Amino acid sequence: MRNFAVLTENVGKKFDIGTMRQKMLGQQFRYWVQGHQPTRSFWALRNVSFRVEHGEGLGVIGPNGSGKSTLLRILSGILQPNEGRVESNGPVNPFLALGVSLLPQLTVMQNLKLCAALLGYTGREFRRKLDSIIEFSELSDYLYAAVADLSVGWASRVAFSIAIHADLNILLVDETLEVGDAYFREKCKRFFRKIKEQGKTIILVSHSMDDIVGVCDKAVYIDGGRQMAFGDVPSVITKYENTVALRMKKTAEARGT
């Protein structure tokens, strides 16, 4: 096995704006006749390059809308990059967003089963791990409640508990800790440190610098789709916080206070 877990080189992702994601057939026909599509490109992510070793944690920080989730979607293979290179050694858990939308009308149990199947469990593997999944999620009293009836925090544990029990080398976690209560968060962080020791890799998107410091060895700071810094956690966080402070000051000055 090569020694890096995830490697990206000048990764860029472009979205077309000025058109609907799903076009109308008639519209498409008009574009063919006109010979062009009236769209503009928007680079949601560009020139992102970093390298994470096995057993390391990478924190991804940056303001809202900076491209953090897009980056995770690319790493998991859900979106394809338009330029650059992504490589990973070992399967990447594709678990992403906060309150990831499963099928909220169905029960917790059915959602656990579906989620396991989506993450590549077979029926037997799922039954073997079920007890420890339920224990971790602390949802044992709500197994037959509809996910829609649970609180956001509880609901996000469904997919999360499954994902971290999947036998995957690289774990992507997108702001999921944010909705957990203090106890659950602490438990997750402890769990992350444990699996890191087993040589697994964690890529964590978070707005909580405490979480980043507690779990990660390296960090990458993204703003407006561009990589502003990559390196050890304290220096990247300092850079991010300085930018935030500068922005606050500018806003204050603009208001004339």
Partner 1 sequence: MTYTNRLHVTPQHFWNLVKELTRCEFKLRDQSTLLGFLWTLLHPTLMFVVLYALFVKWMGNHVPSFPMYLLVGVVQWNYFVKGTTGGMTSLLQKSGLISNFIFPRSALVISSVFTNLLIHLLELGVMIPFLFAFGDAPSLKWFLLPGLVLLETVMILGASFLLARLAVDYKDMVRIWEIVTMTGFFVTPIFFPVEIVAPDRRQILLLNPMAQVIAETRKFMVYDQWPSPRVLGILLLFSLALAWFGYRFFKKGEPHFAEKFP
Binding site for partner 1 (CB under 8 A): 15, 20-26, 28, 73-81, 85-88, 90-92, 94-97, 100-103, 105-106, 110, 113-114, 116-123, 126, 168
Q: Max Cα separation, the chain?
A: 65
Nearest approach in angstroms of CB 23 to partner 1 is 6
Distance from C-alpha of 231 to C-alpha of 218, rounded to nearest angstrom? 6
Distance from C-alpha of 169 to C-alpha of 141, rounded to nearest angstrom? 30
Task: For partner 1, give the closer residue by CB, 20 or 152.
Answer: 20
Task: For partner 1, give the closer residue by CB, 48 or 236.
Answer: 48
Task: For partner 1, give the closer residue by CB, 103 or 252.
Answer: 103
Nearest approach in angstroms of CB 100 to partner 1 is 5
Nearest approach in angstroms of CB 26 to partner 1 is 7
Q: Is 49 helix (H, G, I), strand (E, B) or coil?
A: strand
Contact 154, 183 (CB under 8 A): no
Distances (CA, A) of 198 to 55, 83, 191, 195: 7, 33, 11, 5
Pairs from 244-248 (Cβ < 8 Å, separation ≥ 24)? 244/63
Question: Closest Cα partner for 121 from 77, 169, 163?
Answer: 163
Nearest approach in angstroms of CB 246 to partner 1 is 32
Nearest approach in angstroms of CB 108 to partner 1 is 13
Nearest approach in angstroms of CB 203 to partner 1 is 13
Task: For partner 1, give the closer residue by CB, 113 or 196.
Answer: 113
Task: For partner 1, give the closer residue by CB, 74 or 216.
Answer: 74
Q: Is 204 helix (H, G, I), strand (E, B) or coil?
A: strand
Contact 92, 74 (CB under 8 A): no
Task: For partner 1, give the closer residue by CB, 23 or 247.
Answer: 23
Question: Closest Cα partner for 191 from 253, 176, 35, 89?
Answer: 176
